[in-house]
Structure 1
Amino acid sequence: MPETSSGSLFQVGMTDGRLQPDFHAYYYKQWTAYRMDYHCHNSTEIMYLMTGSCIVDVKTEEGAGKRFALKKGELILLDANVPHRLIVEEGAVCRMLNVEFAFVPTNAECNSATGIGVLAREEPALADLLRSPFASLVLPDPEEVLHTLKSLVLELDQKGGQGIMVRLLFAELLLRLARLRREQLDSSRQHVHHYIRKAMEYLHQNYDRSIRVEEIAAAVNLHPGYLHRLFKRHTGRTLTDYLNGLRIDKAKMLLSGSAVPIADIADYVGIGSRQYFHLLFRKYGGCTPTEYRERAERDSRKKNEVRSI
């Protein structure tokens, strides 16, 4: 696929901030017993299978063909100018969400935190995706991409291709696709990554109450001992250490950004003993909660004085 194609995901301008998305089509469609002719277009296409099953045939540059059998919750990403066709077998029904987009030169206003080049410099998975051309890519989705696609299509329906929200949602879409691809490539660690991520999510959503390792393990469907070893091996920290660090980070946020009394903050972050809270805060924060709040208040006053000059 030529890098000069305005529709391709793999162009030189993608990583240097010179391009932004231009949406050609976005729609929901239910297919029943359908056979499409081979076709191609100068745009990148995402075909997301919401229900049912289907087949997508893809022709490579060498003229060979690849057949992908898609099922609910899977998507195929097709680069520009790649011949492909959709087949829905007799008696089968599937419903898809399709989004097609190319790229046009950006303007100075769009070359910001939502710019593809900026994101690629911050996110190695995205940089790797943009540097690794492919004709087609099939990815399983834990509904993260679907949620983003739905939000993007709704925003496009309401605002067209313009606006900060469209750029933000497209940026999120690229990041989620890149991370899914990274997980797929690293198949030997895919399940490990899933369990670690789920355990971290559970901790971030439940740090405000008493948590036992057995609860975390049950939430991710692993034996407590195995989860403990897995988490330590792949993060370098125990579950307890990670949770304590998280709780102190939340306490710091409340100390510097809210008026919650120091005596109550331990309860806000799930630490039942105020004495133990002070011990943990000194261990992870390097000072007492009172000293941290006083320092934060001084810093805030200095910033306000600078602004008023």
Structure 2
Amino acid sequence: MSKKIIMKTAFESPKKQTDCFFSSYDLPSTEKIEQLRTGMFFIENGISHFTKESGIPLFPFYDIVDSGKASIGPHIHDFFEIELILEGEGVETIGGQDYPVARGNVFFINHIVQHRIRKAQTPLKRLMAAFAPSLIDGMFSTHSPLSVFTSHVLTEPFFSRPNKEKTNFILNEKALARVSVIWLQLIRSYFNGKPEYREFFIKNYFSSLLSALLEEYLDAGIDNNAGKTPLQPVINFINTNFQKTINIEMLVSLAGQSKSAVYKNFKKLTGHTLTGYINALKIEKSRELLLTTSLPLARIAEYLNFNSYTYFFRMFKKNCGISPEQYRTRRRELK
């Protein structure tokens, strides 16, 4: 049973309301969302994953966090998440950093950081979309020379920030209306679409949503071209896929340079070799998993795609000075 939620807050400024054609959408109730969420995700050792039965690895929804309340506890997941605040104020904690939350805030939350709404000072109404990076890869033809580029571009806001602390930006009223319309249509198709066309419309609306967010992100001036290099796509791709097997030929293609030039320029730019940079990201992620989950060490090594547990152990000790087990034990003793 769904109820009709009037989304005036998404389109109405204190003085005037935009086109009423977009002011109402049939959205599932919050109770229905919670029921569906149970079937979409499972939690293993503190990490949320899409279930195999979920079909399309995407879950867009409308959510309310009541005044004085918090969202679910601090958590991490094996997928990306986008959040748009429609109304209310509060505090969101992302990666240990507190951010004030208000109307128009957009948060890009990747699969590396722990996060939660710490407190809603007034009821927080928000649009959410959780999705696996693989969804983007599958939406474009692998035969297209633009497929890798398109996949990279649409996920750029999750990683390409001049300042790592800037995990969000703010939409003005007109931008909020433009983005909300697409988001609401995506939710409508996701929950109410005709079965024979549902996947087609969902993927198209989702691609449009990411494109619209990226365009507003660029218009907001956050993705500043200062300091950009031909290796930026390589760095962003690695940041997105470091836990997978990365093909060097794909990185060379992204950079548009020879293999030797990529190796040389990457080291000059980052101070790391390609392998060293990837391993540094894996070690950073492993430290988080050691502290926030009860995953066995061998499972962490497997999850981060180290060649073997022995190699993971050796690299961790080289970077941190102690073994993974000692790191987990000592840090927890300090809490």
Question: TM-score normalised by the shorter chain: which range applies?
Answer: 0.3 to 0.5
Which protein has the larger Cα radius of gyration, Structure 1 or Structure 2? 1
Structure with the larger RCO, 1 or 2 (CA within 8 Å, 6+ apart): 1
Normalising by structure 1, report the TM-score.
0.43
